[in-house]
Chains A and B, each alone.
Chain A
Amino acid sequence: MQIPILKLKNILLTSIQSDMTDDDALRYQADVVSFLEKSDAKGFIIDITAMDIVDSFMARVINETARMARLMGAKVVLCGMQPMVALTLVEMGRELIGVDTALNLDKGFDKLLEMISEGVD
């Protein structure tokens, strides 16, 4: 299963679906970085609205993908985390998500535009 990567003005948008195997996750990561190189995007949104399970492997993939995008000069926002996923990640006891977050795609988009215009990290 391939995750579509959409370009909207100077922003890349991906929406990860819930049932993704580990291989899918790693392919997604590679797709994002090669797309970033070609697109010259200033911002990158990872939407996880459809994910009802985020385990430590998935959290690692999301974190790493965000860091890779940052290294390539894009601002990154993660959005759409479901309440039960947030609850589980915190209960698991470690800071598993170390990236800027927003409640939903709408707020994530605003936040990203702000970060791009202010040039903050």
Chain B
Amino acid sequence: MINITDKCIELKIEDDILIARKIARQEMADIGFGSADQTRMATAISELTRNVIKYAGHGVCHIVTESSSEEIRIKVEIEDYGPGIEDIDKAMEDGYTTGGGLGAGLPGAKRLVNDFSIESSPGYTKINLEMSRPNV
């Protein structure tokens, strides 16, 4: 049997960054992810939802957790209808920033999770994050 939870957080104001990462952490704790993994995912979500607020104005963070007797898994989908990322390869380089940040957000987030994918065009950006562990 697989248990699934599904949460959707609207990203409109800065406080929503805190809410999104807090919910992700809680959901992960509930199905048995360790605190290192919780911190990794929450930090990645923090980076990416901030980008949404900053560059797109608003978006959605969708958090799905699955737990079976074999495996625990979290999938996070962050979507916005902002201007899009012009050059994804460039945005994934360390130190590259258009917004005066450290340029560590996207590449940093990618390193923290098991699976990372990004699609972007003018008017739509979607980032998927995924993490899974054996259920012990």
Contacts and interface: CB of A to CB of B under 8 A. Distances in A.
Interface stretch (A5-13, A33-41, A49-57, A105-113): A49-57
A88 B45 CA distance: 13
B108 A93 contact: yes
A96 to B, nearest CB: 6
Contacts, number: 75
Contacts of A85: 39
B14 A84 contact: no
Contact of A55 (B14, B43, B95): B43
Given A53-B21, A59-B102, A60-B101, A92 B108 contact: yes
Nearest to B18: A19
Interface in A15-55: 19, 21-23, 52-55
Interface residues of B, number: 28
A53 B42 contact: yes
Please classify how large the interface on chain A is, using the bins under 10, 10 to 19, 20 to 34, 35 or more.
20 to 34
A55 B43 CA distance: 6
Contact of A94 (B17, B43, B108): B108
A91 B42 contact: no
Nearest to A86: B39
Given A87-B36, A93-B104, 12 more contacts: A21-B14, A21-B18, A52-B39, A53-B42, A55-B43, A57-B105, A84-B35, A88-B40, A92-B43, A92-B104, A92-B108, A94-B104
Interface of A: 19, 21-23, 52-57, 59-60, 84-85, 87-88, 91-94, 96
15 contacts: A21-B17, A22-B17, A23-B14, A53-B43, A55-B108, A56-B47, A84-B38, A91-B111, A91-B112, A92-B107, A93-B104, A93-B108, A94-B95, A94-B102, A94-B104
